[in-house]
A = this chain, B = another copy of it.
Amino acid sequence: MKNLDLYFDLFDRSRTSEQAEEELHQLFSEDIVFVLNGDRKEGLENWKAFVRSIYENNVDLKHMYEGWRKHEGTDLYITRWAVCGKLASGKVYTQTGIDKAMLNENGEITYLENIPDQQDLFDAY
């Protein structure tokens, strides 16, 4: 679960640190599947493009999370999270939701699903 515990902090620090961005991407497998509010995408290059798009649209961003827990009887890890951000437009916003994730035998993140409580979060991007 080490990669999951590094995830949110590295995501936030990737905005201003190339080293953090490199470490962030190393948490994932090449064949990562990620789902953003129901929209499914595949592959590490698409993941990297998603992260870049976030930082083109956000001049500041901070995640907090309650802690990853194994979902009984499945391979899923789940955590609740909260975020606040400031868009390039100057507007500030918040969002809450849950993330679901799966790891491969090497501990790499192979699946990451972001489920915001407010379903129009990614319409802004």
Footprint of B on A, CB under 8 Å?
Answer: 60, 62-67, 80-86, 90-96
Contact A82 B85, CB 8 Å, known A64-B60, A66-B91: yes
A16 to B95, CA, bound (A): 25
Q: Is A92 a contact partner of B85 (Cβ separation < 8 A)?
A: no
Q: Of B60, B67, B91, B96, which one neighbours A94 at CB under 8 angstroms?
A: B96
CB distance from A12 to the nearest CB of B (A): 9
A94 to B67, CA, bound (A): 17
Q: Which residues of B contact A65 (CB under 8 A)?
A: 92
Q: Is A62 a contact partner of B81 (Cβ separation < 8 A)?
A: no
Contact A82 B93, CB 8 Å, known A60-B64, A62-B62: yes
A62 to B96, CA, bound (A): 14
CB distance from A110 to the nearest CB of B (A): 25
- Pairs across A and B, CB under 8 Å, 21 listed: A60-B64, A62-B64, A62-B84, A63-B84, A64-B85, A64-B86, A64-B92, A65-B92, A66-B90, A66-B91, A82-B84, A82-B92, A82-B93, A82-B94, A83-B84, A83-B94, A84-B84, A93-B96, A94-B94, A94-B95, A94-B96
